[in-house]
A and B are shown apart, each in its own frame.
Chain A
Amino acid sequence: MIFDYTVVWDSLPLYMSGLLITLKLLAISLVLGLIIAVPLAFMRVSKRAAVNLPAWLYTYVIRGTPGLVQLFLIYYGLAQFDAVRDSWLWPWLSSATFCACLAFAVNTSAYTAEILAGSLRSTPHGEIEAAKAMGMSRFLMYRRIVLPSAVRRALPQYSNEVIMMLQTTSLASIVTLVDITGAARTVNSQFYLPFEAYITAGVFYLALTFILVRLFKRAERRWLAYLAPRNG
Chain B
Amino acid sequence: MKKLALLGAMALSILSHAVVGAEGKPVRIGIEAAYPPFASKAPDGSIVGFDYDIGNALCAEMKVKCQWVEQEFDGLIPALKVRKIDAILSSMSITEERKRSVEFTHKYYNSPAKLVMKAGTDVKDVKTELKGKNLGVQRGSIHDRFATEVLEPAGVKVSRYASQNEIYLDLSAGRLDATLADATLLEDGFLKTDAGKGFAFAGPDFTDPKYFGEGIGIAVRKNDTELRDKLNAAIDAIRANGTYKQIQDKYFNFDIYGN
Question: What residues make up the interface of A, taking CB atoms closer than 8 Å to B?
Answer: 76, 79-80, 85, 90, 94, 96, 174, 176, 178, 185-186, 188-190, 192, 194
Contacts and interface: CB of A to CB of B under 8 A. Distances in A.
Contact residues of A: prevailing secondary structure: helix
Given A192-B77, A192-B78, A186 B139 contact: yes
A76 B169 contact: yes
Contacts of A85: 173-174
A90 B139 CA distance: 26
A35 B215 CA distance: 55
Given A90-B174, A192-B101, 6 more contacts: A94-B175, A96-B175, A176-B170, A186-B160, A190-B140, A194-B78
A96 B136 CA distance: 13
Contacts of A90: 174
User: Which 10 pairs across A and B sit closest by C-beta, in order of nearness?
Assistant: A189-B140, A79-B173, A176-B159, A189-B74, A192-B77, A189-B139, A94-B175, A194-B78, A76-B169, A192-B101
Interface in B156-175: 159-162, 166, 169-170, 172-175
Task: Provide the main secondary structure of the chain B interface.
Answer: helix
Contacts of A76: 166, 169, 173
Nearest to A188: B74
Contacts, number: 43
A188 B174 CA distance: 28
A94 B174 contact: yes
Interface in B123-159: 136, 139-140, 144, 159
B144 A176 contact: no
Contacts of A80: 169, 173
Given A185-B139, A192-B101, A176 B174 contact: no
A14 to B, nearest CB: 11
B77 A79 contact: no
Nearest to B79: A194
